[in-house]
Amino acid sequence: MRIVIAGAHGKVGLRLGRLLAARGDTVLGIIRNPAHAEDLREAGVEPVVADLEVVSVDEVGLAIDGADAAVFSAGAGPGSGEARKQTVDRGAAMLLADACTAAGVDRYLMVSSMGVERVRDGATPRGVDPSFVAYLRAKLAAEDDLMGRELAWTILRPGRLTDDPGTGRVRLAHHVPRGDVPRDDVAGVLAALLDEPATARLVLELAEGDVPIAEAVAAVRHS
């Protein structure tokens, strides 16, 4: 497959790119900082320098033309303010979806976050850092926008991300108890979802667990 990753130098994106390239896929990685290009090449990913906060839909559409799927794993990051969470976690996700529609790229996977429903209808969860609330609101808005499109989308909501080594075993379903999940396993699940067209139009939560990734994806395919 020919796959585009937005946020390809991020902690999930780079893992996913390396995994896809190693199995023989052609991977294009969208990055904002040209200094990150060599890291992508070393991972087997072809860098595409494009700042999704300012680039046009047409420019991104040209860059991803001919791709079989796109994965949005970009994020403004924990140190960013509310404005950048809106322009990246929400706005860039929507722009990539617009570009996919323009370029005829039907399959779209988006990495979101467990807990986004806690901020629906303007709710503010008690004891949650305001910056994280802003992040959840931006992610929820991006999800709602994507679910209104005709694309073959899948939304993945992982729990708290860790840099622990992946186990290859997860808990994946429409709803799972809150928990941690290694970024290695998030990348592994995204790769498996790309191979399962029947997981389109599903919103899935992810945490560490006991089920091998392939089995977990196969199970939700029929749910």
What's the confidence (pLDDT) of residue 222?
64
pTM of the model: 0.95
Domain total of the chain: 1
| Closest C-alpha among 22, 58, 63 to residue 42 | 22
* Spans of the chain below 50 pLDDT: none
> Could you tell me the CA-to-CA distances from 146 to 80, 110, 129, 174, 203 in Å, in that order?
23, 9, 26, 17, 11
Catalytic residue among 90, 135, 172, 176: 135
Pairing of strands 107-111, 180-182: unpaired
Structure tokens at 84: 């950048």
Q: In this structure, which amino acid lies at residue 94?
A: M
What's the confidence (pLDDT) of residue 192?
Answer: 98
- pLDDT of 90 reads 93
* Residues 199, 219: Cα–Cα separation, whole Å: 10
Q: What is the 3-state secondary structure (H, E, C) of 20-63?
A: HHHCCCEEEEEECCHHHHHHHHHCCCEEEECCCCCCCHHHHHHH
Tokens of 7: 């946020």
Looking at residue 56, its pLDDT comes to: 94
- CATH number of the domain enclosing 172: 3.40.50.720
- C-alpha torsion 31→107→165→43, nearest 10: -40
Please say if 135 is a catalytic residue: yes
Residue 22 belongs to what domain range?
2-221
- State the pLDDT at residue 103: 95
- Residue 223: predicted pLDDT: 65
